[in-house]
């Protein structure tokens, strides 16, 4: 178990460092950082001074070390486009994205898991087939189109829900802005969460179903049946427990997916989160912003994966004993 954790932590560090390296290369070698900072009309002396301030006259390795130090301290440059420190921008926008992602994930899990279990246990019913067919279509639907269709129906034609922005938000503490405490905030959350969560929900439903069907075919279920255990016990105690283990970890990993797809949803709904920020940074070639986002993403994903692996260790006794465990079918 110790080696397992150590391995995962090494991997996390490696990924973050790699992202930081790419980031560093981008920042130092794209365009002329000196130019970006002092502008075209600066004198030679001013340029030299800036070069020194930025540390560009030092060996590359030292520059990288300095970069890492700055990042760790929270200084990741100033946005070309907005002119304010990137760190502040990121923190400002983070709550919006997080709220959206968590809502979508909850929606997807709370609907997807029961539906998946039900369609596995009632394989032959008509509803099962309908749900499966619908989920097949769901996988082929691009997220942005779902958003657009929902906007058309619920905003344009019915006028029930807003299509843009977060509604009124309330600031908690120093930095966290939430839309959960206002009616308009909640209304604004509905369509985006639905859009973001729908895809995940179909995924989870199919995954749970497939996993459960696999589990129901195993020898230990057969033996449980041979021992005369009641169906309810077999389905909900034995089978469900074994199904949920890989499913939980997949759902955890899907959180990363949700985070990525939030970029799309934020664009469709003009949701002021990190995703929208990234798109704008690409369109405006705002390198510091993009580079920082890269590191943030790498860190975020690596941490999510680490957390999921640790969760797996907590739940599955075989992992604690360092035994190879069959992961969920992909």
Partner 1 sequence: MSVQSAAERGPRWWEADLVHDFLRSPVAHVAALLTFVSVALALGADFIAPYNSNDPASANVIDARLPPGAAGMLGDHYLLGTDPQGRDMLSAIIFGLRTSLMIGTSSVLLAAAIGITLGLVCGYFRGIFDAVIMRIADVQLSFPAILIALLIDGITRTVVDRGTHDRLAIPVLIVAIAASYWVQYARTVRGLVLVERTKEYVLAAKVTGVSTLRIIATHIQPNVMGPVLVIATINLALAILTEATLSFLGVGVPPTQPSLGSLVSIGNEFLFSGDWWISIFPGGMLVVLCLSVNLLGDWLRDALNPRLSDA
Partner 2 sequence: MPEPLLSVRNLRVEIATRRGMLVAVDNVSFDIARGEVLGVVGESGAGKSITGGAIIGLIEPPLRRAGGEIRFDGRRIDNLEPERTRALRGRHIGAVFQDPLTSLNPLMTVGRQLVQTIATHLDLSTRQAREQAARLLAEVGIPAPRERLDNYPHELSGGMRQRVVLALAFCCEPKLIIADEPTTALDVSVQAQVIELLRRMCRDHRTAVMLITHDMGVIAETADRIAVMYAGRLVEIGSARAVLGAPTHPYTRGLMASIPSIKRRSAELPQIEGNMPRLGAIPPGCAFHPRCACRLPRCAHQQPLLAPAGETQSACWLTAGHEDVPPAVRHA
Binding site for partner 2 (CB under 8 A): 218-220, 222-231, 233, 237-238, 241-242, 245, 316-318, 321, 323
Would you say 152 or 325 has its CB closer to partner 2? 325
226 binds, among partner 2, partner 1, none (CB under 5 to 8 A by kind): partner 2
Backbone angles phi, psi at 154, to 5 degrees: -90, -20
Least spacing, CB of residue 206 vs partner 2, in Å? 22
In sequence order, the 6+-apart residues with CB closer than 8 A to the CB of 67 are 20, 23, 24, 27
24 touches partner 1 by CB under 8 A: no
Would you say 50 or 294 has its CB closer to partner 1? 294
257 binds, among partner 1, partner 2, none (CB under 5 to 8 A by kind): partner 1
183 binds, among partner 1, partner 2, none (CB under 5 to 8 A by kind): none
149 touches partner 1 by CB under 8 A: yes
Residue whose C-alpha is closest to residue 7's, from 313, 256, 245: 313
Least spacing, CB of residue 187 vs partner 1, in Å? 17
100 touches partner 1 by CB under 8 A: no
Helix axes 240-269, 183-216, angle to 10 degrees: 140
Would you say 227 or 330 has its CB closer to partner 2? 227
Residue from 1, 60, 84, 152 touching partner 1 (CB under 8 A): that is 152
41 binds, among partner 2, partner 1, none (CB under 5 to 8 A by kind): none
Tokens 């929900």, located at residue: 201
Length of the chain equals 330
Tokens 């070069």, located at residue: 51
Please tell me the distance from the alpha carbon of residue 34 to that of residue 28, in angstroms, as a whole number: 9
Residue from 9, 42, 50, 253 touching partner 1 (CB under 8 A): that is 253
DSSP state, residue 84: S
Contact 197, 212 (CB under 8 A): no
Partners of 176 in the β-ladder: 172
Contact 82, 89 (CB under 8 A): yes
Would you say 36 or 178 has its CB closer to partner 1? 36
263 touches partner 1 by CB under 8 A: yes
Would you say 155 or 178 has its CB closer to partner 1? 155
59 binds, among partner 2, partner 1, none (CB under 5 to 8 A by kind): none
Helix axes 287-315, 240-269, angle to 10 degrees: 170
143 binds, among partner 2, partner 1, none (CB under 5 to 8 A by kind): partner 1
Contact 298, 12 (CB under 8 A): no
Please tell me the distance from the alpha carbon of residue 231 to that of residue 152, in angstroms, as a whole number: 45
Least spacing, CB of residue 174 vs partner 1, in Å? 30
Take residue 220 and report the two structure tokens written for it.
Answer: 């230990």
Please tell me the distance from the alpha carbon of residue 203 to that of residue 214, in angstroms, as a whole number: 16
184 touches partner 1 by CB under 8 A: no
Please tell me the distance from the alpha carbon of residue 60 to that of residue 79, in angstroms, as a whole number: 23
Least spacing, CB of residue 72 vs partner 1, in Å? 22
Backbone angles phi, psi at 178, to 5 degrees: -125, 145
290 touches partner 1 by CB under 8 A: yes
**For residue 215, what is the enclosing H or E element?**
helix 183-216
Contact residues toward partner 1 (CB under 8 A) are 11, 14-15, 22, 26, 30, 136-137, 139-145, 148-149, 151-152, 155-156, 163, 253, 256-257, 260-261, 263-264, 267-268, 278-279, 281-283, 285-287, 290, 294, 297, 301-302, 305
């Amino acid at each position: 178990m110790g080696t397992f954790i150590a391995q995962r932590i090494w991997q996390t560090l490696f990924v973050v460092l790699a992202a930081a390296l790419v980031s560093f290369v981008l920042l130092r070698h794209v365009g002329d950082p000196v130019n970006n900072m002092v502008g075209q009309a600066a004198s030679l002396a001013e340029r030299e001074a800036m070069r020194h301030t930025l540390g560009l006259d030092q060996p590359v390795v030292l520059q990288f070390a300095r970069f890492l130090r700055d990042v760790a301290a929270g200084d990741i440059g100033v946005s070309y486009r907005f002119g304010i420190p990137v760190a502040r921008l990121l923190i400002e926008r983070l709550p919006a994205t997080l709220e959206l992602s968590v809502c979508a994930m909850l929606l997807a899990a709370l609907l997807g898991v029961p539906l998946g279990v039900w369609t596995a246990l009632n394989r032959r019913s008509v509803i099962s087939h309908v749900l499966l067919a619908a989920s097949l279509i769901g996988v082929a639907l691009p997220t942005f189109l779902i958003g657009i269709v929902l906007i058309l129906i619920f905003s344009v034609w019915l006028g029930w829900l807003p299509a843009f922005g977060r509604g009124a938000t309330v600031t908690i503490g120093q930095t966290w802005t939430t839309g959960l405490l206002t009616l308009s905030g909640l209304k604004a959350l509905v369509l985006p969460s639905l859009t973001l969560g729908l895809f995940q929900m179909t995924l989870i439903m199919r995954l749970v179903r497939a996993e459960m069907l696999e589990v129901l075919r195993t020898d230990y279920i057969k033996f449980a049946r041979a021992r005369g255990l009641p169906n309810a016990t077999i389905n909900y105690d034995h089978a469900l427990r074994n199904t949920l283990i890989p499913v939980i970890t997949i759902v955890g990993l899907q959180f990363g997916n949700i985070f990525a797809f939030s970029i799309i949803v934020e664009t469709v709904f003009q949701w002021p989160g990190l995703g929208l920020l990234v798109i704008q940074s690409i369109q405006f070639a705002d390198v510091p912003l993009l580079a920082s986002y890269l590191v943030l993403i790498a860190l975020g994903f690596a941490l999510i994966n680490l957390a999921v692996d640790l969760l797996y260790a907590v739940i599955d006794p075989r992992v604690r004993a360092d035994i190879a465990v069959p992961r969920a079918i992909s």
